[in-house]
Structure 1
Amino acid sequence: MSLKSIIQDMKGDFGSISRKGFEVKLGYGLRSRSHRVVQDVFVPVDAMRQSCWANMPPELLRDVLMRLEASENTWPPRKHVVACAGVCRSWRDITMEIVTTPEVSGKLTFPIALKQPGPRDSLLQCFIKRNRASQTYHLYLGLTQAHSTLSDNGKFLLAARKCRRPTCTDYIISLDADDMSKGSGTYIGKLRSNFLGTKFTIYDAQPPHAGATITKSRSTRLVGSKQVSPRIPAANYSVAHISYELNVLGSRGPRRMHCTMDAIPASAIEPGGEAPTQTEFPLCNPDSFPSLPFFRSKSTRTDNVLSGPLTTPKDGVLVLKNKAPRWHEQLQCWCLNFRGRVTVASVKNFQLVASPEDGIAGQEHEKVILQFGKVGKDLFTMDYRYPLSAFQAFAICLSSFDTKIASVFAAFPGVS
């Protein structure tokens, strides 16, 4: 029996049991038609517990879900794994246990994976679509190796909207492309720039590590029109600072970019190093994800929400810098090797590597952790790896769209 027929069978069981429950309540009311006042009693019926699929032996259910997890590697078929987690509590618990983090599996399955570090041994290939009219940016997971046109479709991951203010610019980042308000339950963070567009701060709506302190924000105004839910506290946790050095040489040299990852220790890139890993969204509004019942939780406690370093890094934080390009005599421009992922010359193109603390670069400092580049008028590729998450990588790339004075130089991507 196919997975689709199983889910349809589950819906049928749910409907029949719900109708029985309604008949029980209605029948009691009919028998109570008299001059006496009788209290109406409703007998709750748990459709999921009475379903034959919910009562599958755990050993058999585990084997089925493990086979499904191993077979559905990429989207869109991977949506079946997500659907299994929404069947009932027993299915949810086993599915969440089987599905590993992107660091281990290299896969993005549940929404929380967007806040978790990417794979260690490879780059997750994504792309960003820009809408100039609405000032919005959508991040997608690439389903094919090349995205040369805007007609290519991928798995939607995140959305951001640019909001200009008198002294700064905010990019509100959300899980929902249709609701990008700070008061929404789908709001997960923001990027804020200074007036010149040379310095940026990334704020996370959730604490990146235990002991993280809330950063005071001068602006508490809602960006969207929807009302704030009282269950969503307003919080901004600073997780990274990005700076662009002013290019006083004009076209004689490329601009310099530095990212200080406040929530990631410098040891995270070393073998055996760990970065904070969020395991759930403890502060989200459960009503924000009606199509994902596995995403709901009655508790808003932050216990066991994080793994990895539990306190602010004391041995130094991870600092990323843009990889120095080389000068190409024939092309008369600066070049970088993006391995075919970037095809259009742009000031926005960059590659980030780890900056050594002691000045001595090791092999781990040669790996490209994040690369971003232009492939069309409003289409850009974004590839990232451990210890950055999709949310952090997306926010860093958004800063490249907003640079003003620093945007004097255009680098041309090299081709290997």
Structure 2
Amino acid sequence: MSYAAVAKDPCRIESDSEDEKRGQIPTPIITRRTIPKTVTSLSCPKTPDWDAASNRPQATRTQSPIQTLTSSNKNERGELASRISSSSSSSSSTRLNNAHEPIVPALTTPEPSSTLSATANTSNFDPIALLQNNLMKFINTVIPQDYSSFVQCTLRRDKDGLQGGLFPTFYLHAERPVDGKKCFLLAARKVAKVKRQSEYLITTDVATLSEKSAGEDYVGKLRGNNVTGTEYTLYDHGLSPNKVPNGKISNTREGLRRELLAIVYNTNILGFKGPRQMNIMIPKLGHDIQPAKNEPTILEQWRDRRFSYLTQLRNKAPSYNEDTKNYVLKFTGNRVAQPSVKNFQIVLENDNHEEEVVMQFGRVNEDIFTCDFRYPLTAIQAFGIALSSFDSRLARE
């Protein structure tokens, strides 16, 4: 997709249109709001609820190096850079008129690197060494907070085969920064469900993806909770509480599955509210959430504003550039190359109400995507968030 074409016809999404048509499942129009309800008997959470569409000013801080678009025509690239060097937030009417645009990586000169903290990365954590030594441990390990660099990963989508268009396979590889060498982490396969709710089986062995429940190397699943594709839960490989006989759950809850995260996309019929907006809830470090029957799930705790054991993340709202008529995000490093409606960044709000990017996901080409993450995420959590972005539904686009 040429960037000149984006500026000329901003409402046309060449890089995604055919992809969405093949994979999209028509859904009924749902008008029920998906924001959490207010429970006055409970204290307010330490982490506030965020409005992803909010244009409130953010605290000034040093920006990370940002994605530079590539172009075969250097003159065209320089001209485009000068055109979008200044970005401004769009008004609500402008967002409605340009709801179906892809999110474009901002084009500018990279700046000195910034980190989650003001100090340099002094951690002894070595993600490549850990995954090569113990893959299972690595995919469930929260990246240490003092490891300020991103764990750089590449996600590849495979749509080959008779049913590849509707039920593709996904592969996640970690990249070694020094030489770009890739190490396999996880694979996932989308499966058909009777109730039309999406489900992705996740495994550490590609060979077992054709087996029921992904075989012995099955490590978890991402399951859609409704037919509209706005709510998802990521589980580990444990047993469903519905399969555990009453009274058989011990105090340690051995064998009961853990909920690793929940994702809620704001209802956005046909994209009239602008780019996708999502909230992500993960268990706080040191807390396992293993609900038995009739016990609150992550989603239920979030709706009831019970944040004692939850950390809330959300996607960073892209800014709207009036010159190019595109939504723009600043990506760290030369990691995202093409505009796409799937491009996003996940942010964590710190105690100073500053946004810190903890995950970035963006298109490299038709079926290759960047999937970088850091504290407070694990590899399987980042993979689950990325998988949910491929499950295109009319209710959230």
- Taking structure 1 as the reference length, the TM-score comes to 0.51
Match of 1:106 in 2: 126
Q: Which of 123, 139, 156 is the matching residue for 1:129?
A: 156
Q: CA deviation at 1:122?
A: 1.3
Larger Rg belongs to: 1
Note if contact 1:259-1:321 (Cα within 8 Å) is conserved in structure 2. Answer: yes
The count of corresponding residues between Structure 1 and Structure 2 is 231
Higher relative contact order (CA 8 A, sep 6+): 2
Establish whether residue 403 from structure 1 lines up as the match of residue 369 from structure 2. no
Q: Which of 329, 338, 342 is the matching residue for 2:336?
A: 342
Note if contact 1:189-1:236 (Cα within 8 Å) is conserved in structure 2. Answer: no
The code of the aligned residue for 1:367 comes to E
Q: Which of 182, 186, 204 is the matching residue for 2:236?
A: 204
Matches within 5 A, 1:385-396: 385-396=374-385
Note if contact 1:118-1:388 (Cα within 8 Å) is conserved in structure 2. Answer: yes
Change over 3 Å in CA distance of 1:254–1:397 after alignment to 2 = same
Change over 3 Å in CA distance of 1:314–1:242 after alignment to 2 = closer
Note if contact 2:362-2:369 (Cα within 8 Å) is conserved in structure 1. Answer: yes
Q: CA deviation at 1:104?
A: 4.6
Q: CA deviation at 1:126?
A: 0.2
Q: CA deviation at 1:322?
A: 0.5
Matches within 5 A, 1:172-187: 172-180=201-209, 181-182=212-213, 184-187=215-218
Matches within 5 A, 1:161-240: 161-167=189-195, 168-180=197-209, 181-182=212-213, 184-193=215-224, 194-206=226-238, 215-216=240-241, 235-240=256-261
Q: Percent identity?
A: 34
Change over 3 Å in CA distance of 1:136–1:252 after alignment to 2 = same
Give me the whole-angstrom Cα distance separating, in 2, the residues matched to 1:139 and 1:322. 21
Note if contact 2:346-2:360 (Cα within 8 Å) is conserved in structure 1. Answer: yes
Give me the whole-angstrom Cα distance separating, in 1, the residues matched to 2:383 and 2:307. 26
The code of the aligned residue for 1:341 comes to R
Match of 1:115 in 2: 140
Q: CA deviation at 1:182?
A: 2.0
Give me the whole-angstrom Cα distance separating, in 1, the residues matched to 2:230 and 2:307. 27
Note if contact 1:201-1:240 (Cα within 8 Å) is conserved in structure 2. Answer: yes
Structure 2 unaligned blocks of 5 or more: 1-122, 244-253, 289-305
Change over 3 Å in CA distance of 1:406–1:355 after alignment to 2 = farther
Say which SS state the counterpart of residue 388 (structure 2) adopts.
helix
Establish whether residue 250 from structure 1 lines up as the match of residue 281 from structure 2. no
Q: CA deviation at 1:323?
A: 0.7
Change over 3 Å in CA distance of 1:217–1:183 after alignment to 2 = farther
Q: CA deviation at 1:248?
A: 4.3
Say which SS state the counterpart of residue 341 (structure 1) adopts.
coil
Matches within 5 A, 1:13-28: none
Note if contact 1:197-1:402 (Cα within 8 Å) is conserved in structure 2. Answer: yes
Q: CA deviation at 1:127?
A: 0.6
Decide which structure has greater helix share.
1
Match of 2:326 in 1: 333
Q: CA deviation at 1:379?
A: 0.2
Q: CA deviation at 1:240?
A: 1.4
Change over 3 Å in CA distance of 1:126–1:190 after alignment to 2 = same
The code of the aligned residue for 1:155 comes to C
Match of 2:55 in 1: none
Match of 1:42 in 2: none
> What is the aligned-residue RMSD (CA, Å)?
2.9
After superposition, give the CA deviation of every residue in 1:22-51 in whole Å (9 maximum; x if it has no partner): xxxxxxxxxxxxxxxxxxxxxxxxxxxxxx
Change over 3 Å in CA distance of 1:386–1:342 after alignment to 2 = same
Change over 3 Å in CA distance of 1:250–1:392 after alignment to 2 = closer
Establish whether residue 362 from structure 1 lines up as the match of residue 370 from structure 2. no
The code of the aligned residue for 1:174 comes to T
